[in-house]
Amino acid sequence: MPFELDGITYYHTTKKVIDDFSITLEPARFYGIIGPNGSGKTTILDLLTGHRQPAKGMVRYRGKTLASYSKQQLSQEIALVPQNFYINFPFTVQDIVMMGRYPHIARFAAPSTADRAIVHEVMQKSEIVEFANRYVTELSGGERQRVVFARALAQKTPVLILDEATSNLDINYSISLLNLAAGGVHADGKTVIAVLQDINLAAAYCDYLIFMSKGRIVTHGAVREVLNPEVVGSVFNVDVKVYFDNYSNSLQVVFRK
């Protein structure tokens, strides 16, 4: 199993952000983490990637604590697409995507032919080949997000973590990149863990949903088990209807003021 979170508590200064959070995440699933702003979703991702350390409890990956892995080892196992990506240096798009191969390249060694082939492949899949030689500082927010997504795919990790990774993208590219993520789950047995604001995209792509509120798990389970008006209404404090949509072949959610 990729992850076990056991009794995780985390504080930001003196405020408890995550409160006794426990769950086991199985491999080859597309997980969606859903909840209102400030519910601790991004903090959970930071704990899964080792960027933050819990005040209490334990995060294990493949049966070992995250602390037992080196940074390079974790980079070979877990790739992150953050919500925002800022860089002030004029690296080309191809340079940025190649950074995804660094965990697999020996120190002071040059990228191999295989590394370059992987970079070209993911750039094609992410539809960014056309601006491969442009500087990343010249790109729009949505274009930069596609580049960072391609960099994560180039890492070729068994776990892909998405932190609102489609928030800067139009619906066309959101669907395109989520298709790539879902394809990795179904074809390669990857585990995808995504914080998504769009509940309908989560319903269409995820196998399993984790609803959060105030740093705790409200409920979790297969989409058809937990995506219902009672759960969504209580988590977001809205009047909601959930129905099965034949066109998208998934549950969908509509809201009323």
> What confidence tens digit (pLDDT) does each residue in 187-242 have?
999 999 999 999 999 999 999 999 999 999 999 999 999 999 999 999 999 999 99
- Structural domain count, the chain: 1
Q: Which two tokens stand for residue 257?
A: 């003021």
Tell me the three state secondary structure of residue 16: strand
pTM: 0.96
Look up the domain containing 241 and give its range.
Answer: 3-256
Q: How far is Cα of residue 227 from the mean position of the Cα atoms in its chain?
A: 20
Residue 46: is its pLDDT beyond 90? Answer: yes
Beta-strand (E) ranges in the chain? 3-12, 15-25, 30-34, 56-61, 64-65, 78-81, 159-163, 191-195, 208-213, 216-222, 239-245, 250-256
To the nearest 10 degrees (0 to 180), the angle between helices 113-125 and 141-154 is: 140
Give the residue, 251 or 167, on which the prediction is more confident: 251
> What confidence tens digit (pLDDT) does each residue in 77-116 have?
999 999 888 888 889 999 999 999 999 999 899 999 999 9
**Looking at residue 107, which CATH number applies to its domain?**
3.40.50.300
CA distance 82 to 100: 14
Residue 172: is its pLDDT beyond 80? Answer: yes
Percent of the chain's residues with pLDDT above 70: 100
> What confidence tens digit (pLDDT) does each residue in 19-28 have?
999 999 999 9
What does the mean pLDDT of the chain come to?
Answer: 96
